[in-house]
Structure 1
Amino acid sequence: MNPHQAHSATPWAMFASLWRNRQLIRQMTRRDVVGRYRGSIMGLAWSFFNPVLMLFVYTFVFSVVFKARWGVGGEENKADFAIILFVGMIVHGLFAECINRAPGLILSNVNYVKKVVFPLEILPWVALGSALFNCFVSTAVLLLAQFAINHIFSWTSMIFPLVLLPLIFAGMGFTWFLAALGVYVRDVGQVTGIFTTVLLFLSPVFYPVSALPKEYRGLLQLNPLTLIIEESRKVLVFGKLPDWSALGIAVLAGLTIAAAGFWWFQKTRKGFADVL
């Protein structure tokens, strides 16, 4: 294997690699998920109990301690605020997990760079698959809690994966970019944690967009998480259809970011072996 050989960086190559290596991505994702809980007594059950615990904490802190209300109108019980907030945490958690892991993806798999003929471009897909597993487990907890509390299960919840598509594509683009950059600039790993924490408070996770003064709402709309969080609440909590036109534009933007990130990764990967 020549570690310095050029690799195709076209959008077609991005999807072709995903399809060609789909079995390997599935196996590595399963290994990554299981590996997190290897050696623990409860094993994969922790992936279910962790979001359950967090939902209870959110319910107690925001509805009992702070007595917060979202202002959706009608009868809003103590758990409603926590459920609405939890949707924002799920979306942010999916994006944050990919971004925070990205700078170390290549650094933690040096053997794949130097010794094995391996499609390095699939490592971000593996990170995304692991994050999606946690995301959908948390979503299942959310839907069960909503059914237990409000006796509601809306069919629009089935649309949630479609709502996540723009975030998935954009997240992959950023992950490819940061995974490659992290090889050359090791400080990137420190910056991403700060960035995702700041993004948590600059996204409509703990508050609705309408709570902001009008002059700041436009700035909040520039946040890529804002649209996804708002539309996710529509389909998961309020039983409404999403804004398809806005999601369509977001998908195109996400694909553009994914293509740009993949191009950067493929063009810079030939230098990985020298640096590592």
Structure 2
Amino acid sequence: MRSFSASPVEMFASLWLNRELIKASAKREVLGRYRGSFLGLLWSFFNPLFMLAVYTFVFSVVFKARWNIESDSKTEFALVLFAGLIVFNLFGECINRAPSQVLNNPNYVKKVVFPLEILPVVTLLSVLFHGMISLAVWLLAHLIFFGLPHTTVLYLPLIILPFILFILGLSWGLASLGVFLRDVSQFIGMVITVLMFMTPIFYPITALPEKFRQFLYYNPLTFVVEQVRDVLYWGKSPNFSMLIIYTLISIIVAWIGFAWFQKTRKGFADVL
């Protein structure tokens, strides 16, 4: 039986060697998502705008949530909210789909010599494409209502890149677990819903009493959401010391997830 390397070097080497296949698969997934629809890729613009409008109305009008006590601007609330949603949607969609990625592609496991480890990467790139469109919408809205964004927006890749590694690590682990434990998909769906409201997306973290704030910082999304908002909207530089720690943790999570996937993939064919 073929053995699969689980070394960190193999993790990056596989992505590089299969880059063309990853690119082609991600492109096919993006285009296939809207194949046959009248508006096509325009839906990738309308979907986030529609959800943004709904969330903005519910939380800024109904629940009277505010990011800045001195400001009652609905536009400010919308942009700050949207920045958090971009981060959460990137995480939520990838993690939600991870447990079924191998299950939904049994032919790749049984009949074809296929690098299964790229499946989470293809999904991530597809979701990242839509995230970039949402970011473009955000930047356009900021330009229209507030002018040019702060130069700190250039720090955004430094925050997103380790976040991508973190997502990949979790996706590899869940993709493997989803083969052996079919309940994982249901469980992850509940976890994502809880995380949506336990992450400071719809409210500032300062809105919580001091004794409860520390619990939100145990949520790995909190740091990313706060940092993205700082560089995009508030014009603050990222917390570099925490960013270095977060990057190291993300690399470790990515390697552990990849190693687990590689060690367990030999049993996929037997289960499927």
Q: 1:202 to 1:75 in 2, by over 3 A?
A: closer
**Alignment partners' CA distance in 2, 1:196 and 1:56:** 21
Note if 1:31 corresponds to 2:40.
no
Please list the CA deviations of residues 142-194 of structure 1 after superposition, one character each: whole Å capped at 9, or x if unmatched. Answer: 11112212224222223212211222111111100000010011111111111
Deviations 1:121-151 (A, max 9, x none): 0001001101111111111111111221222
Q: Pick from 214, 229, 235 the counterpart of residue 239 of structure 1.
A: 235
Q: 1:156 aligns with which of 141, 152, 157?
A: 152
Q: What is the CA-CA distance between 1:27 and the residue it aligns to?
A: 0.6
Shift of 1:97: 0.8
Deviation at 1:208, TM superposition (A): 1.4
Q: Which letter does structure 2 place at the counterpart of 1:19?
A: W
1:66 is matched with which residue: 55, 60, 63?
63
Mapped to 2, the partners of 1:101 and 1:59 lie a distance apart of: 26
Query: In structure 1, what is the equivalent of residue 224 of structure 2?
Result: 228
The question of whether the paired residues in 1 share the 8 Å contact of 2:117 and 2:261 is answered with yes
TM-score in terms of structure 2 length: 0.96
Q: Does 1:198 align with 2:176?
A: no
Cα deviations by residue, 1:191-214 (Å, 9 ceiling, x for unpaired): 111110101111111111212222
Partners of 1:21 and 1:185 in 2: how far apart? 28
Q: 2:109 aligns with which of 84, 107, 113?
A: 113
Q: Deviations over 1:24-54 (max 9, x none)?
A: 1011001011111000011111111211222
Q: Is the 8 A contact 1:55 1:83 kept in 2?
A: no
Aligned AA (2:5): S
Question: Cα RMSD over matched residues?
Answer: 1.3
Unaligned ranges ≥5, structure 2: none
Identity rate, percent: 56
The match for 2:98 is 102
2:170–2:257: 8 Å Cα contact kept in structure 1?
yes
Of residues 66, 76, 97, the one that matches 1:80 is 76
- For 1:249, the equivalent position in structure 2 comes to 245
**Alpha carbons 2:11, 2:255 under 8 Å: kept:** yes
Q: For residues 94 and 56 of structure 2, what CA distance do their matches in structure 1 show?
A: 26
Matched with 2:6 is: 9
Q: How many residues align?
A: 272
**Distance in 1 (alpha carbons) for counterparts of 2:58 and 2:79:** 12
